[in-house]
Amino acid sequence: MPLIIDRRTILASMAAIAATGVAGPAFAEGATHTVQMLNKDPDDRKKRNVFLPLIQVAEPGDTVVFTSVDKGHNSEIIKGMIPDGAEAWKGRISKDLSVTLTQPGVYGYRCTPHAALGMVGLIIVKGDGMMDNVEEAKAVKHRGKAKAVFEEIWAQVDSGNLLA
């Protein structure tokens, strides 16, 4: 898949960096990953209301910035899909959100108004115990198209290719 850099991507990246408030040596504490909140998948126009990437793999201490590329979206943790001791989040609609993840495990999240339309995603934070909450997360019931999207997510997680 070719890398396409357009004005929107550059602006989203700049917003993600600005939203973290990070400068200079603070980057040593963890990487920053961007998850875009979009009305349409640029690679598959049939997919609407999506997070890109669908699955993000991170290290403890990394920051994930949810970038509001298109208005009307947010990110919030899904109850039952967060490691024990981790901090939940709920972003505001049409606002970027920066989340620093320190606890290994899987984090399921959704766009509050578009979850039933399949706007869900997963973050895997590597480290000891990173798979401890997988079965609990898989047991969470989802409505509408979110059910099918999570089936796709879990198939990718079970394949083992994400953590290679």
pLDDT tens-digit series, residues 107-148: 999 999 999 999 999 999 999 999 999 999 999 999 999 999
CATH number of the structural domain spanning residue 54 = 2.60.40.420
Tell me the H-state helices in 61-144: 134-138
- Within a domain: residue 55? yes
Residue 161's pLDDT band (cuts 50, 70, 90): confident
Instruction: Examine residue 111 and state whether it is found in any structural domain, yes or no.
Output: yes
The pLDDT tens digits of the residues spanning 52-98 come to 999 999 999 999 999 999 999 999 999 999 999 999 999 999 999 99
What would the pLDDT profile of 102-116 be if each residue is shown by its tens digit? 999 999 999 999 999
**pLDDT single digits (tens) 29-56:** 799 999 999 999 999 989 999 999 999 9
Question: Does residue 80 belong to any structural domain of this protein?
Answer: yes
HSE of 44, CA atoms in CB hemisphere, 13 A: 9
In 10 A of CB 23, how many CB atoms?
8
Question: What is the count of structural domains for the chain?
Answer: 1
CA angle, 127 as apex, 122 and 129 as ends, to 5°?
A: 85
Asked, for residue 1, whether it belongs to a domain, the answer is: no
Does 164 reside within a domain? no
Does some domain include residue 109?
Answer: yes
Please check whether residue 133 is in contact with residue 83, taking contact to mean a CB–CB distance below 8 angstroms.
yes
Pick left, alpha or beta for residue 146 (phi over 0 → left; psi -120 to 50 → alpha; otherwise beta): alpha
Residue with the two structure tokens 């115990």: 129
For residue 141, give the DSSP letter.
-
The pLDDT of 18-22, averaged and rounded, is 45
Tell me what pLDDT residue 39 has: 97
Best CA proximity match to 54, nearest among 162, 164, 153: 153
Domain that holds residue 150: 7-158
Task: Tell me the one-letter amino acid at 104.
Answer: P
Report the first-to-last Cα separation within the chain, whole angstroms: 19
Output the CA angle 100-42-12, nearest 5 degrees.
40
The pLDDT, as a whole number, for residue 162 is 82
Examine residue 28 and state whether it is found in any structural domain, yes or no. yes
Spatial distance between the Cα atoms of 158 and 13, rounded to a whole number of angstroms: 30
